[in-house]
Amino acid sequence: MASSLERSFEIGPEHDGERADSVVSALSGITRSAAQKLISSGMVKIDGKVCSKSQKVKVGQSLEVVLPEPKPLEAIPQDIPLDIVYEDDDVIIVNKPRGMVVHPAAGNPDGTLVNALLNHCGGSLSGINGVVRPGIVHRIDKDTSGLLLVAKNDRAHLSLAAQIKAHSVRREYEAVVRGVLKDDRGTIDAPIGRHPTHRKKMAVTSKYSRNAITHYEVIERLNKYTHVKLMLETGRTHQIRVHMSYIGHPVAGDPVYGGSLNREEAALNGQCLHARLIGFVHPTTGEYMEFSSDLPDYFTNFLEKVKT
């Protein structure tokens, strides 16, 4: 087992009382299901003792995580075009089109961003997140377009995951949301967890949730919509979609969190949400780097329609 994959953490107050699997996921930069598999395999210890996935952690405890050696890749390389914004030996920035799934999963075994990355990068992707998520440090939804940061080796992955945990990665989105926002700017600070009855949805809830913070600024108020900029302080699943719905302004075109769609929104075939900017400290050079992408056609076309 390579020593670089053996990680130790001290539990801080922000994780006091949380489940072990949730904390391992947050601190190691791996998915929760991957964290649960590690715990079940005895690869996670709290204060030197093997823990259970539902065990609650306490401030000051020592968490030891042994990340597995990368396995032979199971996702297959596919010759799918990529819009590469930047690439070097450590990272690659991809502008993901709306409609593309990030990694293979049930119902989407191929045709994903990971399949395209494997074809482009060969074996040069981090293996920390397992054989179907090589290189994936963070994700954006299938029907969200925009910039995605990918790690090309384990050292870069751990560095980027630590920056995400520390909330130092700058992530800005643009969206069109339903209704006219009253305030020019604001902050939504509301914890997000699994929906109590719809297991494929997330919700603002106090039960088994994690803190979630989204900042927003109005770009332009339209007739029945608002064009907004959104800045993520945390990165929970569906965070922007859940938070904007929570304050009564769901993202246009989002049938999951926005309910019934009018004809214009239904024509979007997905939410009007674009990951426009990402900034981070390069894992090797220590230089701050920032990249942005133009709004895609579906977004600008919808803006023009709702302005009239």
Residues marked as catalytic: 141
Among candidate residues 22, 6, 11, 2, the one with its CA nearest the CA of residue 46:
11
Amino acid at 124: S
Kindly report the backbone phi and psi dihedral angles of residue 115, in degrees, each rounded to the nearest multiple of 5, phi listed first.
-60, -40
Contacts of 111 (CB under 8 A, 6+ apart): 78, 80, 100, 101
The residue type of 139 is: R
Annotate 125-138 with b (16+ C-beta within 10 A) or e (fewer): bbbbbbebbbbbbb
For the chain, give percent helix, strand, coil, nearest 5.
25, 30, 45
Query: Which two three-digit tokens encode residue 100?
Result: 């593309």
The tokens for 149 are 């940061």
**What value, to the nearest 5°, has the Cα angle with vertex 149 and ends 11 and 25?**
25
Grouping H, G, I as helix, E, B as strand and the rest as coil, residue 24 is: helix
